[in-house]
Amino acid sequence: MAPSANRRSGNSRRAQYTTFFGYIAGGVGAALGAILVVISINNPGFMAGLRGFGSEAVAPASRPVAAAKTESHGLFEVITGYIAAGSQNARLKQQLAHARARLITADAQAEENRRLKALLGLMQATPRPLTTARLIGSTMSSTRRMATLDAGSRDGVIVGMPVRSPAGLVGRVLEVAPTTSRVLLITDAESVVPVRRAYDGLPAYAQGRADGTVQIRLISLGVNPLKPGDTFVTSGSGGLYRPGTPIGVVWRITNDGAIARILSDPANSDYVIVEQAWLAETTGKTTAPPASPDAPSAAGASAQ
Amino acid sequence: MIHLRPLRTLEDHLSRRINRAPSPAFAIATPWVTVMLGSLLPAWPYIASAPVAPPLGLLLLLAWRQGRPGLLPVWAGFPLGAFDDIYSGQPFGSAILLWSLALIAVDVVEARFPWRNFAFDWLEAAVLIPLTMLGSLLLANAAGGNASPKIIIPQMLLALLLYPMIARGVALCDRVRLLPLRRLR
């Protein structure tokens, strides 16, 4: 392709100056970008207001599309449901029989649990969801994994609240705008969730790898006891995530832990539940906090 | 006889009469708006647990810059990058920096090689897009996290394969941009 004639400044002083100041402005833009990025790396909340405004602005466009996605999803399920009805019926009957038997066992265990917990003086924290909302967008091209939630400060969402789907933990609220909020997904590389193995309570951390999996890092080093298929749930340490929320299933063993696939794929969860931060809820409900040597001093410091 | 008045009016507008000219607002706004729409890609309600989509805003920006040199100024990386940063989830400023550098690089290459064909433009994009994506990854990692460069390789390949189609789309937008919609009096 021949170069276009209007790009040659020739002898025109005006054209020469325009080209020159264009370059200067481009260089200044790059320099400003460098300054801004350094500020936002050191201060992650930088420009959060602008991001909130931006997500509020596009939310009216993304809400109907999210709703249509859910409905079309339902339509496909109806069609496949008709096709697979007979075999599904037989399978469900079999599963129901199994489930009845296990329900009786579970009832007995729940009763035993209640008795043992009462014995230990532990409080039974019943899940109290704050609100149910839809995820209406996510960062698709960046390696940061964040999603936009269709609920904000007007619904009572505050920063730090855990977000889960029926299948498991999705993430936690990072920034809040009036009707939308930003959720840091558990697969983000900055997200670290304290977890334990479901059947024996082996403690570990689940750190996101930004590719749909999490890295399980064991706290106690030594022989790696993990096996593919181990299920991990939140342990509740740190007080943010309620204990027992499913996280992922071990998929590949590594030297210092394992890589787990997450259970709640946010692409499949139409609605998610925003919960109260677990420890805030428990401290709000219990009248007397557990006696610890530094508790009175902390209370005194806050009273001053 | 039925009068198709709206159609007739459109035909009247688009016919090559001597008193017709492109609408200035439409002609100027089209490149900016298409790049911003490309940046709004994360607003599409697919909730990805891995980075899957190519950086469409960057691809559109480069395609406009290569297809129509001089239409978007060299400093366009600042406003368009800022808009991208609002929605991309990257630390604010990362697209401002990287897109400005990419536009300066395109300008320098254009001055050095005035005679280019599309294969050359594609090669240039094939250098600039992976470098920009790698830069975004490094800046995102600097803000926290340790994502491996491996996870953006599929995205890079998709972006490079998509680039010729994006360039064709931009060429189409460029034709629409210059439709003679305004009547001169």
A144: closest chain B residue by CA: B89
B45: closest chain A residue by CA: A137
| Confidence class for position A55, pLDDT limits 50, 70, 90 | confident
Q: Which two tokens stand for residue B11?
A: 């035909």
Rounded Cα gap, residues A160 and A179, in angstroms: 16
| Contact flag A38-B93 (C-beta cutoff 8 Å) | yes
| In-domain check, residue A208 | yes
B112: closest chain A residue by CA: A3
* Mutation target among B37, B39, B49, B137 for the A interface, most CBs of A within 10 A: B49
Please, are residues B71 and B170 in contact by the beta-carbon 8 Å criterion? no
Express as a percent the part of chain B with pLDDT over 70. 86
| In-domain check, residue A184 | yes
Q: Which residues pair with A249 in a beta bridge?
A: A231, A261
Contacting residues of A for B146, CB less than 8 Å apart: 189
Please, are residues A304 and A145 in contact by the beta-carbon 8 Å criterion? no
Instruction: Return mean pLDDT, chain A.
Output: 79
Residue predicted with more confidence, A128 or B74: B74
Binding-face residues of A in 70-109 toward B, CB within 8 A: none
Express as a percent the part of chain B with pLDDT over 90. 45
Phi, psi of B104, deg, nearest 5: -65, -40
Per-range mean pLDDT, top range of A44-58, A134-148, A204-218, A272-286: A204-218
Q: Is B85 exposed, middle or buried (0-12, 13-18, 19+ CB in 10 A)?
A: buried
Question: Which residue range forms the structural domain that includes residue A264?
Answer: 129-281
| Contact flag A44-B88 (C-beta cutoff 8 Å) | no
Mean pLDDT of B84-99: 90
| Confidence class for position A280, pLDDT limits 50, 70, 90 | low
- Residue A112: what pLDDT? 80
Contacting residues of A for B94, CB less than 8 Å apart: 33, 37, 40
Instruction: Decide the pairing of beta strands A203-208 and A271-275.
Output: unpaired
* Mutation target among B39, B47, B64, B78 for the A interface, most CBs of A within 10 A: B47
Give, for A257, the enclosing helix (H) or strand (E).
strand A257-262
| In-domain check, residue A271 | yes
Contacting residues of A for B171, CB less than 8 Å apart: none
Inform me whether the pLDDT recorded for A282 exceeds 60: no
Please count the residues of chain A.
Answer: 304
**SS3 assignment, position A259:** strand
ipTM over 0.85: no
Mean pLDDT of A39-49: 83
Residue predicted with more confidence, A18 or A270: A18
| Confidence class for position A304, pLDDT limits 50, 70, 90 | very low
Q: Is A179 exposed, middle or buried (0-12, 13-18, 19+ CB in 10 A)?
A: buried
| Confidence class for position A59, pLDDT limits 50, 70, 90 | confident
Binding-face residues of A in 197-226 toward B, CB within 8 A: 208-212
Q: Which two tokens stand for residue A3?
A: 């170069």
pLDDT of B139-164, one tens digit each? 988 877 677 888 889 889 999 999 99
| Contact flag B78-A29 (C-beta cutoff 8 Å) | yes
Q: Which two tokens stand for residue A260?
A: 């787990």
- Residue B12: what pLDDT? 62
Distance in Å, alpha carbon of A135 to nearest chain B alpha carbon = 7
Q: Residue A102: left if φ>0, alpha if ψ -120 to 50, beta else—which one?
A: alpha
Angstrom distances, CA of residue B2 to CA of A161, B5, B21, B117: 63, 9, 29, 49
Contacting residues of A for B87, CB less than 8 Å apart: 51, 54-55, 58, 139
pLDDT of B12-40, one tens digit each? 656 666 777 888 888 999 999 999 999 88
Rounded Cα gap, residues A150 and A171, in angstroms: 14
Mean pLDDT of A167-180: 89
Please, are residues A232 and A256 in contact by the beta-carbon 8 Å criterion? no
| Contact flag A40-B151 (C-beta cutoff 8 Å) | no
B147: Cβ–Cβ under 8 A, 6 or more apart, which residues? A143, A189, A209, A210, A211, B137, B140, B141
Residue predicted with more confidence, A25 or B44: A25
Tell me the CATH number at A147: 2.40.10.340
| Contact flag A37-B139 (C-beta cutoff 8 Å) | yes
| In-domain check, residue A300 | no
Contacting residues of B for A65, CB less than 8 Å apart: 44-45
Please, are residues A193 and A234 in contact by the beta-carbon 8 Å criterion? yes
DSSP B43: G
Q: How many domains does chain A have?
A: 1
Rounded (10°) angle between helices B77-88 and B24-39: 40
Rounded Cα gap, residues A97 and A26, in angstroms: 70
Please, are residues A53 and B35 in contact by the beta-carbon 8 Å criterion? no
Mean pLDDT of A37-66: 82
Inform me whether the pLDDT recorded for B50 exceeds 80: no
| Contact flag A143-B49 (C-beta cutoff 8 Å) | no
Q: Which two tokens stand for residue A27?
A: 């260089």
Give the start-to-end residue ranges of the domains of chain B. 31-178
